[in-house]
Chain A
Amino acid sequence: MTNQYRSVFDIIGPIMIGPSSSHTAGAVAIGHVANRLFHAPIKKVIVRYYESFAQTHQGHGTDYAIISGVLGFDPADQRVPMAVDLARRQGIEVEFIEDPGDSPVNHPNTAELTLINSQKSLTIWGCSIGGGTIEIRKVDLNGIIFQPDGPLPIIFVESDQEIGTALDHIFKDNYRGARISVRVPGRFLYKLELLDKPYPEQVEQVRGMSKDMIVL
């Protein structure tokens, strides 16, 4: 739980549409993670809020913020306040739920965000820890569950080859915790948590082995 903030721009920044860095900019960031992990047309979005998010999402624009992220907007995009309408106009069903219970991942600003289409589903549990910085504490990708420590960067790589050892070789000096590998029929899925942003060369090396790499 130490050193979640690693850049001066986590402190001075982000540039954003108000009013709340935790509840607006952080929510955009959580939506953005879901957008990048799902990377497919979306049929339905379900947002379940806990604790402070559940109490104040309405006044802080959290609804449109999180949907902005799902649509891939950045926090200073002028379309942010209109995102819920824009999503519905694109035919995406959007539902918000205020859960009266405690956060299942132990943070007052927690959003559980589910994206669904006819082929797949994704749920992420995102925490907005302050100043627009977020953590992802749980991911359910088609029933495969990952429970990262939380701080980004988190990397997901999918490959038809077993490339775990090669990934260890590329990132070993930058690992935060263990690499998780999951075997799905015909594919291998890897989750890595890094201490720092990967170097461009490292990203290139992974792309040489797999086109399916998402750096969160």
Chain B
Amino acid sequence: MYTKIHELVQTAQERQLPISELIIEQEIQMSHSSREIIWATMGKNLDVMLAAEEKGVTGEGVQSATGITGGEAVLMKRYREKGQSLSGDIMLEAVQNAIATNEVNASMGIICATPTAGSAGTLPGILSVITKQLSLDRDAQIRFLFCASAFGMVVANDAMIAGATGGCQAEVGSASAMGAAAAVEAAGGTPQQSSEAFAMAMSNLLGLVCDPVAGLVEVPCVKRNVIGSVNALTSADMALAGLVSKIPADEVISAMKSIGENLPSTLRETGLGGLAATPTGIALKMQIFGQDMSIDK
């Protein structure tokens, strides 16, 4: 089992194989399933991601039960149609799809966790952009997900991917780094460049706290996925342009872990600190749950 990024990179270089291929081999070996079954299962995950993006911008979009998120992917779609954006339409493709996916998640729709539900919009945002820019076919999109999972598994085992243990840097930060690495592979970059993209993307989001208003995966989670997607795409571009991270990927993961462990619990998915503890955050919580926070209904 690959336990470090540098092992993935070194093996990929030695065997002249993409990282996605190494992780498919590992999955076959560990799950005792066939390549066809594994490929088809990842294909189903892709289908769920695409369906969620679509659902989030169909009609007026979706609304969460609390009413604090929803409908904004549609606003972005309409804005794009005017063709006068500041950051360029292709970047807004990522923005729209990241928001749409997480709005669907918040509305208790069906999503694919990548690696978590709170960070489920980050990879779809990235994938929608590179699918257009690189004209990726379905198989290449599935391969992107395998490559992302290879990097994600190292983070999950070596550090953490839960907001409750590591803050948002462990969720959106990890998703962004995984996606940056996989975008590089999809664009024909080297395994080392994937590792650089990963390291830069994760470095940029170190320290990001998990401070959901009312403890819900809504505010600020939906829009944090936007920064995950955009950061991944720019990190992938930096790596493809030959920029490097001075700190190697595995050490960035160690730093993320150490920061996560040092975060107070108020900033680890308890809904007690950060934005959740602002006057408006508290007011929203009161509005949603009322005075009585006990569960007996």
Contacts and interface: CB of A to CB of B under 8 A. Distances in A.
Contacts of B288: 59
Interface in B11-57: 23-24, 27, 30-32, 38, 41-42, 44-45, 48
A18 B52 CA distance: 11
A195 B105 CA distance: 32
Given A7-B27, A58-B289, A131-B162, A18 B104 contact: yes
Given A19-B117, A131-B113, A197-B30, A5 B269 contact: no
Interface in B241-276: 265, 268-272
A52 B110 contact: no
Contacts of A193: none
B42 A8 contact: yes
B212 to A, nearest CB: 8
Interface stretch (B71-79, B86-94, B149-157): B149-157
Given A16-B110, A18-B104, A8 B117 contact: no
A35 interface: no
Nearest to A130: B162
A130 B109 contact: no
Q: How large is the interface on B (under 10, 10 to 19, 20 to 34, 35 or more residues)?
A: 35 or more
A52 B211 CA distance: 12
Contacts of B116: 20-22, 130-132
Nearest to A97: B295
B76 to A, nearest CB: 20
A90 interface: no
Contact of B145 (A12, A15, A20, A51): A12
B174 to A, nearest CB: 9
Interface stretch (B197-205, B214-222, B228-236): B214-222
A129 B268 CA distance: 13
B240 interface: no
Contacts of A13: 41, 45, 112-114
A72 interface: no
A109 B164 contact: yes
Contacts of B291: none
Interface in A146-182: none
Interface string A102-127: 00000111000000000000000000
B147 to A, nearest CB: 10
A162 B269 CA distance: 46
A143 B114 CA distance: 39
Contacts of B218: 19
Given A8-B42, A58-B215, A58-B295, A129 B162 contact: yes
B111 A55 contact: no
A8 B2 CA distance: 12
A11 B149 contact: yes
B113 A14 contact: yes
Interface string A46-67: 0000011001111111010000
Given A8-B149, A109-B164, A129-B165, A17 B108 contact: yes
B162 A56 contact: no
Nearest to B116: A21
B198 to A, nearest CB: 14
21 contacts: A5-B157, A7-B31, A9-B41, A9-B42, A18-B110, A18-B120, A18-B217, A21-B115, A51-B164, A55-B272, A57-B295, A58-B295, A59-B215, A60-B216, A60-B217, A98-B295, A108-B268, A130-B165, A131-B161, A133-B156, A197-B31
Given A3-B157, A18-B217, 16 more contacts: A7-B31, A12-B145, A15-B110, A15-B111, A16-B117, A17-B109, A18-B120, A20-B117, A25-B117, A52-B270, A76-B110, A108-B270, A109-B162, A129-B162, A130-B171, A133-B156
Interface of B: 1, 3, 23-24, 27, 30-32, 38, 41-42, 44-45, 48, 64, 66, 104-118, 120, 123, 145-146, 148-150, 152-153, 156-157, 160-165, 170-171, 178, 212, 214-218, 265, 268-272, 288-289, 293-296
Interface of A: 2-22, 24-25, 51-52, 55-61, 63, 76, 81, 96, 98, 107-109, 128-133, 196-197, 199-200
